[in-house]
Amino acid sequence: MLGIERHSRFDIGPWRDLVGRARASGIDVVHTHKIGSNVWGALLTPLMGDPIFVAHEHTWSYEGQPQRVLLDRELIARRADAFVAVSREDQRRMVEIERVPAAKTRFIANGIPPFPPPTPGRDVRAELGLGADTPLVGVVATLRPQKALDVMIRAVPGLRERVPGATVLLIGGGGEPNGPEEQRLRAVAAEHGRR
């Protein structure tokens, strides 16, 4: 792994050093993640002795923003040997919205480690103050607006019409405790009479 330390977005000296170190090391693969790194990877990889270039993006990128479409399709996808999507929906949006050539895209699902075995004798429902027969739906996600967890909260009344007593448990983090997204979700829950 080669690290760089830049002091501003206009500080290009470290990129020059990185290119020199990459050439000297004979790097075979450059894997970039997210738009800024993907742009730099597309620009600099040819100067590194032309290693394989793999770009990688996430769902919230494919929204049809003109500058993003231009960069993703005309710069990054043209230079990349593969453009990785973390879901089939991302891959579809890459091709249909951004018009990235389908042959360049690769679907690689996010890795999810296996769950540890349950602790014997532990009763999660009881810990939550729920009855043993209470239907429980759990959602584990990073608390970000693009996860649309408010949709799940708003769906609870309809769920309870079909499954009386159903409880939805949202588990997540990814920001500061009690950050803006957590506060927004709590407000949506309060609006719908839930805690």
pLDDT for res 43: 92
* Tens of pLDDT, residues 1-56: 556 777 777 777 777 888 888 888 888 999 998 888 899 899 999 999 889 999 99
Residue 116 in tokens: 């540890």
DSSP string, the chain: ------SSTT--HHHHHHHHHHHHHT--EEE--SHHHHHHHHHHGGGGT--EEEEE--GGG-S--HHHHIIIIIIIHHH-SEEEESSHHHHHHHHHTS---GGGEEE-PPP-PPPPPPPTT--HHHHTT--TT--EEEEE----GGG-HHHHHHHHHHHHHHSTT-EEEEE--SSSTT-HHHHHHHHHHHHTT--
pLDDT digits (tens, 9 = 90+) for 175-194: 667 788 888 898 999 887 55
Q: What is the pLDDT of residue 60?
A: 55
pLDDT digits (tens, 9 = 90+) for 75-119: 999 999 999 998 888 899 889 888 889 999 999 987 777 777 777
Residue 10, pLDDT score:
72
Domains present along the chain, CATH in parentheses: 13-107 (3.40.50.2000), 124-191 (no CATH)
